Structure 1
């Protein structure tokens, strides 16, 4: 029985870690007004019929604080790269000179900053919802184990432990959101 409970916790931690990783990935795509290769590195580009991350078809670099340069390995990839950037709706316009694609990151207005903070908080709330659904599955597993003969007092301790685990992950989410909010609001 204890092995089952340990397995439930192991799976729950793994799922919650995935939620945090997903949140980090989503937050990295939110522009802070500074050039960051992560803004476009994960975008998918049509590479000879298959969707491939941009970082695998081009060299992505930061030219200065507000400019990202994308140099494709093959010049024929410039139009698909531009299309991918347009379709991602990042609020930037790619410019190409036949050799590479430049993206100028516009300075953020106060309204745009507030909108980006709101978006970041929405992503954080999505992560918390995901963590809470994992908690529900974990609690259901513990309750089922109690029904199957696991001691009730041990089941209660396991539920308390599950709640502490969820709180720790929600705190991680809040920390990520606060950090991102600071990045967005810093001029």
Structure 2
């Protein structure tokens, strides 16, 4: 029973860490990376479709992404979708290839993105602590139902805290790496 609670809590914390990684990928650095366009949706025959499913996205050089649609009639739709996204990118089209030059980050935008990264990390920590709270509540209910003893409860609480500390440390490490990446010129 306790093992199931611990596994569930650790699984939820792991998912939180993965979600944090995805959120960090959306915060752009000065370098081009295809994951920047993960959130862009294109109108494809009446339905909204992720850009990666209707075009090939590649890195041309350190500061330029190229998007090559699989159907040439999608070029204007993709341009519109990229311009509507809040990424601040201006597409330039040459035939069927859409190039996205990454504007250089100013000190002000770097600081803004760093604040955004810190907020995402704090949301991750809160989610991890919520998982801990839920696990401790389940352990407490087992104690109240007399399914476990006080010693087992104490050991389980200590184990939940160790798991929580491990994942909070991973969030902090991911934030430090992202901040370093953002502040690199």
Question: TM-score when scaled to structure 2?
Answer: 0.94
> Partner of 2:37: helix, strand, or coil?
helix
Q: Matched residues in 2 for 1:65 and 1:129: separation?
A: 35
Q: How does 1:1-187 map to 2 (within 5 A)?
A: 4-149=1-146, 150-187=148-185
Which range moved further: 29-38 or 47-56? Answer: 47-56
Deviations for 1:47-103, whole angstroms, at most 9, x for unmatched residues? Answer: 223332211111101111111000010112223322322232011112223412111
Q: Matched residues in 1 for 2:152 and 2:183: separation?
A: 46
Check conservation: 1:36, 1:62, Cα contact below 8 A. yes
Mark the runs of 5 or more structure 1 residues left unpaired by the alignment: none
Cα RMSD, aligned residues only: 1.3
Q: Matched residues in 1 for 2:164 and 2:27: separation?
A: 25
> Partner of 1:108: helix, strand, or coil?
coil
Which range moved further: 35-44 or 167-176? Answer: 35-44
List structure 1 runs of 4+ shifted beyond 4 angstroms.
none
Q: Matched residues in 2 for 1:56 and 1:7: separation?
A: 38
Deviations for 1:148-184, whole angstroms, at most 9, x for unmatched residues? Answer: 1111111011011111111110000011010011111
Check conservation: 1:37, 1:68, Cα contact below 8 A. yes
Deviation at 1:42, TM superposition (A): 4.3
Q: Matched residues in 1 for 2:42 and 2:13: separation?
A: 29
What is the number of residues matched between the two proteins? 184
Question: TM-score when scaled to structure 1?
Answer: 0.93
